[in-house]
Amino acid sequence: MPRCHRSLSQPHDPDLSRMLKVYIVTGIAFMLLPGTFVGVLNLLKISSAHTSGAADAGWIQAHGHAQIFGWLGTFILGIGYYAIPRLRLSRFSFTAAWTTYFLWAAGVLIRWAVGTWPYRWEILFPLAGILELAAVAIFAGTVYLSRPRARDDKWRESVVLITAAGWMMVAAVAVNAVESFRVTAPVFPTAFNQSYLALITWGFVVPFIWGFLSRWTPPLLGLRKTHQLLVRPALGLLLIGVALAFVSALASAVVLLVATIAFGLAIRYFEPPEKEPKLSGVHPLTPSFIRLGYLWSIVAAAIAIVAALHPIPNGYAGASRHALTVGFFAATVFTIGPRVLPAFFNVRQLWSTRLMAVSLILLHIGCVIRVTSQILAYENIAPIAWRALPLSAGFEMAAVTMFAVNLLMTLTTGSPLEAYLAAAREAGSF
């Protein structure tokens, strides 16, 4: 059978695992260097000059693009090609997954490079937007436009959320591409950028994370049955909140807060669990990490309301953004990734659950310092907080590096799941 027509949807297909590994390693590379390292450099410039204007807008946007598109976007595309076809497709094209990969990685890399060093930006900036759009269009066409396979009720609400998230990703990447043709310098104008950031964070990353959370966390935490009837209204409110970001920052933030609380109530994160959590392969503190991460998304929406009421200076807006991106996105990926990725990579388990816990604790401490000191320093409430900002960068950088080391070691040293199962069967425990 020719390779491009090969079905990749069987469990533990080695080609599929290999493809996912390439996506994940690329995402980690974007997260570490163009993402976190540049973020830390920006923060050091800002904190030593005591003004948020000290860092170049091109570098700030390059950092944000590397984190949202380069890290999270690459993870989402890889996991999407790996996991979604099992739900929805009987066959899908191997070529599509690799074409998406090369177009996406090239687009994100060019965009990041032009943001930091504006060489031939008139051509390269729009080119990056087009490459990214082409990559996502192929992904959407392959994964979403095929007929659903057998209906699985356990996945029903997750599929709705992930499908909505996929279309929001296409919309966000299209808006990015169109704007990259209209700019007069290799940066997005400030006013547009604020609404655009709501689109790429709340609009496409949040629904993807909700989709994966709704599938994987109820059994992981032993939660009571999800209130299915609340999930779609929460999603509807989320999308309305994102649309409102282009009209009124205040109305948008209020609706996003209601949506976030509604989704938390739907999944029943803050009710006592019904069953024992299924924590094999992850750290016992995982349920607390999940809840803490979710709490950060509520805090982010609440701070966004204050930011809308006090838009200048931009301490509240930056604090809200990092409560969402570090507190919710990064912390959730650092918690769910170690649970699902080892099985997807076809290895026995995470390299170190202890390293997982340490990286999450450091990440949350860094996020608390970052969010509070960004408000206190940027808003001129307590200038001593400028000194705490580099500390937050140190904590977050250490956390991000530990997560990367843990995943890379899991990938390279983990023993195959089959070998583990065979050994366990031989030992008579199955």
Residues of this chain that interact with ligand HEM (CB under 6 A) are 36, 39-40, 42-43, 46, 52, 55, 60-61, 63-64, 67-68, 72, 193, 197, 318, 321-322, 325-326, 329-330, 393, 396-397
**Cβ proximity to ligand HEM, 174 vs 343, nearer residue:** 174
CB of 256 to ligand HEM, least distance (A): 16
Query: Position 207: which residue type?
Result: P
**Cβ proximity to ligand HEM, 89 vs 407, nearer residue:** 407
CA-CA-CA-CA torsion sign (412, 417, 418, 421)? positive
CB of 326 to ligand HEM, least distance (A): 5
**Cβ proximity to ligand HEM, 21 vs 63, nearer residue:** 63
**Cβ proximity to ligand HEM, 26 vs 325, nearer residue:** 325
**Cβ proximity to ligand HEM, 109 vs 326, nearer residue:** 326
Spatial separation of the C-alpha atoms in residues 49 and 59, rounded to whole Å:
16
Q: How many CB atoms lie within 10 A of CB 73?
A: 28
Backbone Cα Rg of the chain: 21
**Cβ proximity to ligand HEM, 55 vs 254, nearer residue:** 55
Spatial separation of the C-alpha atoms in residues 287 and 295, rounded to whole Å:
12
CB of 130 to ligand HEM, least distance (A): 20
CB of 86 to ligand HEM, least distance (A): 26
**Cβ proximity to ligand HEM, 68 vs 238, nearer residue:** 68
CB of 268 to ligand HEM, least distance (A): 26
CB 132 within 8 A of CB 111: yes
- 416 strand-pairing partners: 347
Determine what percent of the chain falls in helix, strand and coil, rounding each to the nearest 5.
80, 0, 20
CB of 121 to ligand HEM, least distance (A): 16
Spatial separation of the C-alpha atoms in residues 168 and 210, rounded to whole Å:
13
**Cβ proximity to ligand HEM, 75 vs 94, nearer residue:** 75
- 67 strand-pairing partners: none
Give which of 414, 411, 403 is closest to 32, Cα–Cα: 403
CB of 272 to ligand HEM, least distance (A): 31
Spatial separation of the C-alpha atoms in residues 36 and 21, rounded to whole Å:
21
* Residue 77 CB contacts under 8 Å (≥ 6 apart), including other chains: 23, 100, 101, 104, 135, 136, 139
- Nearest residue by C-beta to ligand HEM? 64
CB of 68 to ligand HEM, least distance (A): 5
DSSP conformational letter for 43: H
Give which of 336, 358, 338, 363 is closest to 349, Cα–Cα: 338
**Cβ proximity to ligand HEM, 238 vs 397, nearer residue:** 397
259: enclosing H helix or E strand: helix 249-267
CB of 71 to ligand HEM, least distance (A): 6
Structure-block tokens of residue 203: 């609009």
